[in-house]
């Protein structure tokens, strides 16, 4: 008989969600992670009275019917989320657009920045709203648009490259996909609703899930080097760990499968920030490289848990810049394009220490999309009880759906 019903390798958002769900089902679960604490790509850094939350603050899916909202409800987690106004800003090389919860306010911004194509943009937003209403009335329409690609839908409007990039950078930030790779349903979520700002960000939510896991008898082992897969059977997986073996009926790897990006933490005086800067800015320095955007998150003016009075905590996230020599200077150059005199006036700028969260599987360990998933974020090894849910591999709501599907599968 296996030691555990489930072993989860990697305590990222997906791993913690699956662990918490299974522990509430009275399953015996062990969580293995090489770090000193859970969180994966979500963690906290502190310096000189500043507190930086790593990971998104804004996310879709925390509404009552969203994947993250349903996950929180099933775990009995109370979370505090609100809508910012403006929700966020998109800074392109030659223009800056504020995004509001009221699409009419957003359209006024777009009218100013894209006057030559505003008629098509208004029609596009109107059509999205009508499609959203049809989806709300009919499950059949909802299923259809969840499966339909946004590529053809967008192609009929003939948008300029600049407006297409404006859409693309938002899709990459919130859904980890180019806009034309989204489903129509995801495109509607992106443009016809607003992301919620979670107090403490996803870092706080990850901590709440860990509490649920531990309260329900879950076992967490930190500072455990990545295990080796010793054997995979239909109903059993054996992992070779530093001090022996772990035998489980099923194993989920929640580890990074892509190169790691960079984060920069800055402490600044409040007066250094430009007037009207949003709490989150999506910035693209070059139209020709939409995948090289970065995000700048700014603590709230009255949030003294993040920064001392009169100060602000800034987190710059650069998905396309790998850690290494010269990374800090490159990141500072980009942030300086948004905040003049940053280098002269900032209190400090720290890089996030490199975390080895990438797990390399052997060539014979081939995964395929788990059949019950509409989006192949959850993967399964053919003929075995070994699963993969990449850490930071998709939007948080998609990760929540995949973790929920895994828990239902192995229950």
Residues 305-314 have pLDDT tens digits of 689 999 999 9
pLDDT band per the 50, 70, 90 thresholds, residue 19: very high
Domain boundary among 158, 193, 228: 193
Q: What is the mean pLDDT of residues 126-154?
A: 92
User: What CATH code is carried by the domain that includes residue 267?
Assistant: 3.30.70
Provide the pLDDT for residue 119.
Answer: 96
pLDDT of 356: 65
Backbone angles phi, psi at 252, to 5 degrees: -115, 125
- Tell me what pLDDT residue 154 has: 93
pLDDT at 363 over 60: yes
Say yes or no to pLDDT of 24 above 80: yes
Same domain, yes or no, for 248 and 364?
yes
Judge whether 3 and 251 are in contact, CB under 8 Å: no
Query: Would you mind telling me the total number of residues written for the chain in this entry?
Result: 411
pLDDT > 70: percent of the chain: 95
Kindly indicate the confidence band of residue 112, based on its pLDDT and cuts at 50, 70 and 90. Answer: very high
Residue at 58 is within a domain: no
Give dist(CA 10, CA 39) in Å, integer: 9
Average pLDDT across the chain, whole number: 89
Residues 242 and 368 in one domain: yes
Residue 23 lies in a domain: yes
pLDDT of residue 372: 46
Q: What are phi and psi of 68, to 5 degrees?
A: -75, -35
Q: Which of 193, 222, 242 marks a domain boundary? A: 193
Give percent of the chain above pLDDT 90. 62
State the average pLDDT over residues 354-375. Answer: 72
Give 373's pLDDT tier (boundaries 50, 70, 90).
very low
Host domain of residue 284: 261-351
């Amino acid at each position: 008989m296996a030691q555990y019903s489930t072993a989860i390798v990697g305590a990222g958002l997906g791993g913690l969600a699956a662990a918490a769900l299974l522990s509430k089902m009275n399953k015996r679960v062990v969580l293995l992670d090489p770090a000193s604490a859970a969180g994966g790509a979500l963690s906290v850094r502190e310096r000189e009275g500043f507190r930086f939350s790593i990971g998104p603050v804004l996310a879709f899916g925390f509404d009552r019917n969203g994947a993250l909202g349903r996950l929180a409800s099933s775990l009995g987690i109370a979370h505090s989320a609100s809508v910012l106004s403006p929700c966020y800003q998109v800074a392109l090389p030659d223009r800056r657009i504020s995004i509001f919860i009221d699409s009419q306010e957003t359209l006024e911004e777009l009218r100013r920045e894209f006057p030559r194509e505003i008629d098509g943009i208004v029609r596009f937003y109107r059509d999205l709203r009508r499609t959203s209403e049809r989806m709300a009335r009919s499950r059949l329409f909802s299923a259809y648009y969840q499966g339909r690609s946004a590529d053809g839908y967008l192609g009929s409007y003939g948008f300029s490259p600049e407006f297409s990039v404006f859409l693309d950078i938002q899709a990459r930030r919130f859904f980890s996909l180019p806009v034309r790779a989204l489903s129509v349903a995801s495109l509607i979520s992106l443009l016809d609703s607003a992301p919620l700002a979670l107090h403490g960000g996803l870092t706080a939510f990850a901590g709440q899930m860990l509490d649920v896991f531990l309260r329900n008898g879950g076992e967490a082992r930190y500072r455990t080097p990545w295990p080796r897969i010793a054997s995979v059977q239909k109903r059993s997986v054996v992992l070779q760990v530093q001090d022996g073996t772990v035998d489980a009926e099923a194993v989920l790897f929640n580890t990074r499968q892509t190169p790691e990006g960079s984060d920069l933490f800055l402490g600044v005086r409040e007066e250094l920030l430009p007037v009207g800067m949003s709490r989150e800015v999506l910035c693209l320095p070059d139209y020709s490289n939409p995948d090289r955007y970065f995000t700048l998150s700014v603590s709230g003016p009255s949030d003294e848990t993040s920064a001392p009075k009169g100060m602000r905590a800034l987190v710059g996230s650069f998905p396309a810049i790998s850690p290494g020599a010269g990374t800090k200077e490159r990141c500072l150059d980009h942030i300086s394009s948004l905040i003049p005199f940053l280098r002269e006036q900032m209190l400090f700028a720290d890089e996030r220490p490199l975390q080895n969260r990438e797990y390399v599987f052997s060539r014979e360990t081939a995964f395929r999309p788990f059949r019950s998933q509409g989006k192949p974020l959850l993967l399964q090894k053919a003929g075995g009880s070994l699963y993969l849910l990449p850490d930071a591999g998709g939007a948080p709501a998609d990760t929540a759906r995949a973790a929920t599907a895994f828990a239902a599968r192995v229950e």
